[in-house]
Homo-oligomer: A and B are copies of this chain.
Amino acid sequence: MTKTIIGSATKELAIGFDRPFVMIGERINPTGRKMFSAELRDRNYWRVKKEALAQVEAGAQMLDVNVGVPLADEPGIMAEVVPLIQSITDVPLCIDSSIIEALEAGLSVYKGRALVNSTTAEEEVMDRVLPLVKKYDAAVVAISNDETGISQDPDVRFEVAKRIVERAHDYGIKSEDILVDPLVMPIGAINSAGKDVFHLIGRLRNELKVNTTCGASNVAFGLPNRHAVNNAFLPMLAGAGMTSAIVNPLHDGLVQAVRAGDVLNGLDPACANWIKAYRPPPAEGEEGTRGRGGRRGRRGG
């Protein structure tokens, strides 16, 4: 069974075919957020801390860290933000940048085994990112597009992903340390976008034996009531065999949907995680009952 091990200084996380689905929180990202961008440029990280804590509290098992602000010193900011986040939470991080120096800045201060987000199949990108992944013994997200862009044919995207996996092997990176992003298209534009991804996940899992991830929310781009689409998409992705996704765990119902997917995929033994998360609080006076070995105890046995 393919297993990608990511870790912080004190916590190890396995992403794998027989593991609960891993939610990678996407909220530490200033893209399209004016205030957040300005704060990062000023090296004011209160929002980074807030988003980190809120996402972990909501159920994210990992956090994506993207501090890409135009004209800012992204490597410098990354080098400050990564230790800051690691000082307030123990979940593993995903170092996310399109700037190689920012990736290296993050990796060089990271404690544990990081996930690098990302390489594509573009020659220039692979040649810069993959040696870094190897140097820091990290795992890497492999996005299935190349110099020609994103193919609408999922089987072409499979071949593109395969090329990254093979190149990674050349650099000494194992398949199990690669999370392929099959690329989710907006279903409002491409009606087969869902089916294409489900098909592609199956091929990636069965033929390349790799774990997978994606930016799930893209599927509902432009649609009304898009959270409801996302919340149905995540269990379907998990059912098709996807093992992680970059998501907003603060969106209403999303974490529940993912955890329910785990239950239904048989990845939550005895539904213990589900019951722990959603068991109603004991009624008043029930503590006393429990103390006497009362009804709750017997029901559980």
Residues of chain A whose beta carbon lies under 8 Å from any beta carbon of chain B: 187-188, 191-195, 198, 219, 223-225, 228-229, 231-233, 235-236, 238-240, 253, 256-257, 260-261, 263-266, 268-271, 274-275, 278-280
Q: When the two chains form their complex, are residues B235 and A260 in contact, meaning their CB atoms are under 8 A apart? A: no
Once the chains bind, are B274 and A223 in contact (CB under 8 Å)? yes
Contact residue among B192, B260, B271 (Cβ-Cβ distance under 8 Å from A232): B260
Take A240-B239, A266-B195, A271-B188 as given contacts and tell me if A260 and B233 are in contact as well, using a CB distance cutoff of 8 Å: yes
Contact B231 A231 (CB under 8 A): yes
Cβ contact of A229, chosen from B231, B239, B260, cutoff 8 A: B260
* Majority DSSP secondary structure for residues of A touching B: helix
8 tightest CB-CB pairs across the interface, nearest first?
Answer: A232-B260, A194-B264, A225-B278, A232-B235, A236-B239, A228-B256, A224-B278, A229-B260
Decide if A271 touches B187 in the complex (CB within 8 Å): yes
Q: Across the interface, do A275 and B195 meet the contact criterion of CB distance under 8 Å?
A: no
- Chain B residues lying within 8 Å of A274, measured Cβ to Cβ, are 223-225, 229
Q: Which residues of B contact A191 (CB under 8 A)?
A: 266, 268-271
Q: Using Cβ atoms and an 8 Å threshold, which residues of chain B touch A275? A: 223-224
Chain B residues near A240 (CB, 8 Å)?
239
Quote the shortest CB–CB distance from A232 to chain B (angstroms).
Answer: 3
Contacts of A235 in B (CB 8 A): 232-233, 235-236
